[in-house]
Structure 1
Amino acid sequence: MPLQTQLVGQCTSPRHHAVDTRWTMAYAAGLQDENPRLRDTTQASLCVHPLFPVCLEWPSVLDSRALPGHDGLSDDELARGVHATHDLHVIKPIVPGQAYQTTARVVDLQAGHQGARVCLQLDTYDEAGDLVTRTWQTNVSRGVTIEGPAATPIAQAPAWPDIHLTQQAVDARREIPIAVSAGLGNIYTETARIYNPIHSDRAFALAAGLPDIILHGTASLALSVTALSRELLDGAVDQVTRLGGRFTSMVVMPQTLTLHITAQGSDWALFELRNDVQAPVIKDGFMVWSQASATAII
């Protein structure tokens, strides 16, 4: 069935989360991120992996599929949905031991050449009611059309950083290999608490027309951020203010990915992640850290 334009403007009910060190450390360990800032509890405060907010956002992403206008899709149509783009803004650090709540608002719905493009604004707030993170996420329902009167977007996703066009940009081409184990899909499923059987159940993945179990897009992005933080920030992950990219290819496991740092400034980097046949897995990747010219735009 088509997606209905009445979907635009609707928001999910808040999802409440208790974030503890067990969860945040498991997330980092599942990525084989050995940064002591993420797992050494003898420190005064424990940092959280920059992409951990996706763990809080996933239940709200699922809730958005039950909103009026989206709830008519069949199981087959839902299974054809793909995560296309991700743009995470970190306003305040997530702190283990605190409670958070997350909502998903549909801000735009457009017809694309592959299917309906749904743009979500995912907001996470702390106990004081302060906005902690905001993610602009585009999902594509492949082969699904749109029906209803034209709907005006209720919010405009911020432009992606064009810092590679500034005078700061330097050619910083470096390549970093990233090993992906055969079981990473299952591990990430449990540590991120993002349950989708195409990432953990081979029979389900094959029945869905996939070549095998595939890795979560956010896991590929998290692995990239781990490598960038180690290479460029000496592990100071709490400095990251914005990150994202476009997901372009699936990752079958095991294999070795290659992170290509294509340009770098004093507080930003651009990258591309490629698979073992050099096809892009993430294109137009970026990471921005404190005091950057392209800081979080909310």
Structure 2
Amino acid sequence: MPVPSALVGFSAERECDLDARWAMAYAAALGESAATYYDTSAGPLPVHPLLTAGVEWPLLLEADAAAGLSDDERRRGVHSSHQVMLPAPLLTQGPIKLRATVDGVTRLRPGAHLVTRFQACDAEGRELWTTLHASIFRGVEVEGEDRPPPQDPSVLPDLAAGRGGAAEGEVALPVGAAHVYTECARIWNPIHTDVAVAQAAGLPGPILHGTHTIALALSRVLELVDAEPARVRRIACRLQAPVLMPSRIRVRAWAGDPVRFEVAVGDGALALSRGVVELEKK
């Protein structure tokens, strides 16, 4: 059935703890080796910026359900762009209060474009992060007038194109990469882990989670530009080609303010494009 543009303004809330067990498992799923991600004797642990997606996942499902989509239509959803903004380093803590709000519903050539905003705060009401998550539901119509979001996370300048001087690094993805990420991020979608479900959706096999690709890219970008994760204040990108497993992805980063990046799969197609990482100045 069509996605109603009247869905704009729908909101849902949840509370949860961002505890050490979750933060350490997520870091391990990404292959992080820095002791700071695991040393619980030093106080609250630093949290990888993309673990925010795991906290948001249950509310994203609620927003999709409110759209009235069938199971088949939900499976046609493609994560198309993503942006996370953090005013300060994210640490383990709880309870966290999270609100999801549907910001926009518009028609695009491939299908219905849905933008959801997530806003997280701590128990005292201090802002922890804001995420803009965009999905395209392929072949799904929109009912009612287009209602564009105040901020579209897919609107990003293509400043990396045609520039030389990129630093590059590879990331190897074993066949079970998505299974490990699924459990450690607590994001359960069978298109990433179940061959039959992925093939029914028209894919050759399970694909890596979009947020997994972004998280791996961010970690490698920070290595390439010699920056600490605690300095990340914004990461944004478009998601394009799917990433299959086993495979290798190549991360290219252009140092600057902001840092620009992209991620290519084996045949050269871009999995992530127009990537931006804004760092707190030293």
Q: TM-score with structure 1 length normalisation?
A: 0.88
Cα distance in 2 for partners of 1:115, 1:288 equals 31
Give the conservation status (yes or no) of the 8 Å contact 2:60–2:100. yes
Cα distance in 2 for partners of 1:226, 1:152 equals 35
In structure 2, relative to structure 1, the CA distance for the partners of 1:178 and 1:186 (3 Å cut) is same
The amino acid of 1:264's aligned partner reads: A
Q: How does 1:103-252 map to 2 (within 5 A)?
A: 103-148=99-144, 150=145, 152-153=147-148, 155-157=150-152, 162=157, 164=159, 171-234=164-227, 236-252=228-244
Once the two structures are TM-superposed, the CA of residue 161 in structure 1 deviates from its matched residue by 6.1
Cα distance in 2 for partners of 1:49, 1:223 equals 10
Unmatched tracts of structure 2, length 5 or more: none
Give the conservation status (yes or no) of the 8 Å contact 1:171–1:264. no
What residue number does 1:286 align with?
A: 276
3-state SS of paired residue (1:113): coil
The amino acid of 1:88's aligned partner reads: V
3-state SS of paired residue (1:52): helix
Once the two structures are TM-superposed, the CA of residue 110 in structure 1 deviates from its matched residue by 0.8
What residue number does 2:89 align with?
A: 93
3-state SS of paired residue (1:227): helix
3-state SS of paired residue (2:9): coil
Cα distance in 2 for partners of 1:128, 1:177 equals 41
Q: Give the length in aligned residue pairs.
A: 280
What residue number does 1:26 align with?
A: 25
What residue number does 2:5 align with?
A: 5
Once the two structures are TM-superposed, the CA of residue 37 in structure 1 deviates from its matched residue by 2.1
The amino acid of 2:5's aligned partner reads: T
- What do the CA deviations read for 1:75-117 (whole angstroms, capped 9, x no partner)? 1111100100001101233321321121211111110010010
In structure 2, relative to structure 1, the CA distance for the partners of 1:246 and 1:89 (3 Å cut) is same
What residue number does 1:295 align with?
A: none
Cα distance in 1 for partners of 2:153, 2:196 equals 39
Once the two structures are TM-superposed, the CA of residue 162 in structure 1 deviates from its matched residue by 4.9
The amino acid of 2:255's aligned partner reads: Q
- What do the CA deviations read for 1:20-53 (whole angstroms, capped 9, x no partner)? 1110010010111112221222334421112111
Once the two structures are TM-superposed, the CA of residue 181 in structure 1 deviates from its matched residue by 1.1
Cα distance in 1 for partners of 2:265, 2:146 equals 38
What residue number does 1:57 align with?
A: 56
Give the conservation status (yes or no) of the 8 Å contact 2:106–2:112. yes
Cα distance in 1 for partners of 2:135, 2:60 equals 10
In structure 2, relative to structure 1, the CA distance for the partners of 1:97 and 1:130 (3 Å cut) is closer
Give the conservation status (yes or no) of the 8 Å contact 2:82–2:153. no
What residue number does 2:246 align with?
A: 254
In structure 2, relative to structure 1, the CA distance for the partners of 1:35 and 1:80 (3 Å cut) is same
Cα distance in 2 for partners of 1:177, 1:171 equals 18
3-state SS of paired residue (2:211): helix
The amino acid of 1:81's aligned partner reads: G
Cα distance in 1 for partners of 2:112, 2:153 equals 20
Cα distance in 1 for partners of 2:204, 2:62 equals 28
Cα distance in 1 for partners of 2:138, 2:147 equals 22
